[in-house]
Homo-oligomer: A and B are copies of this chain.
Amino acid sequence: MNINAQMVKELREKTSAGMMDCKKALKATEGDLEKAIEYLRKKGMDAAASKFSRQALSGAVGSYIHLYGKIGVLVEINCETDFVANTGEFKEFVKDVAMQITASNPKFISREDVPEDVIEKEKEIFYAQVEKSGKPTSVIDKIIEGKLDKYFKENCLKEQIFIKDSSKNINQLLLELIAKLGENIVIKRFSRFQLGEEI
């Protein structure tokens, strides 16, 4: 296994260990980065373990607290530079998305994030609702497809109608901002806590 400079650099960035220690760790683990990190930790050379979680992207974490603490939302939105993160437009978008999540309670960011077993479960429920209708299978399939589409539009943040302007959904709002600010912008994650709900 040939240990090249790029690999050493990457390991150093992740652990802040010395160059020779990094080379040694990579040789011992045949260039496996994850194993090399663990190797350094085991040798006690992980002084900068906290750097694992350092910032890799720009953007902002924003929050919204509704009704004096009955509902709270935390959201992380990324962009490419601090310059864009500091614009009024970006800050307003962060606030709007936090408010949207507070009001409309999405479960996912986009339909690609909905797990397959959730989709199957919903389909099963939709099917049970229509199977007795006596309609032909092709019609039932169309109905279920429509219901599933409605489910995505209600539960996926990017497909929800924007609460402050019903002429667009959140994804359109996002695309407009990307066009305006000229950087890629990503809604990375969110948490929504409603007081007393079961978890």
Contacts and interface: CB of A to CB of B under 8 A. Distances in A.
Interface string A36-69: 0010011110000010111111111111110011
A195 B69 contact: no
A129 interface: yes
A55 B74 contact: no
Contact of A70 (B55, B128, B191, B193): B55
User: Copy number of this protein in the oligomer?
Assistant: 2
Contact of A196 (B42, B59, B196): B59
B72 A195 contact: no
Interface string A101-134: 0000100000000000000000001001100000
Contacts of A191: 74, 191, 193
B56 A69 contact: no
A85 interface: yes
B196 A54 contact: yes
The A interface is mostly helix, strand or loop, or mixed, namely mixed
Nearest to A53: B197
A97 interface: no
Contact of A74 (B41, B56, B193): B193
A89 to B, nearest CB: 15
A42 B78 contact: no
Interface of A: 38, 41-44, 50, 52-65, 68-76, 78, 85, 94, 105, 125, 128-129, 188-189, 191, 193-199
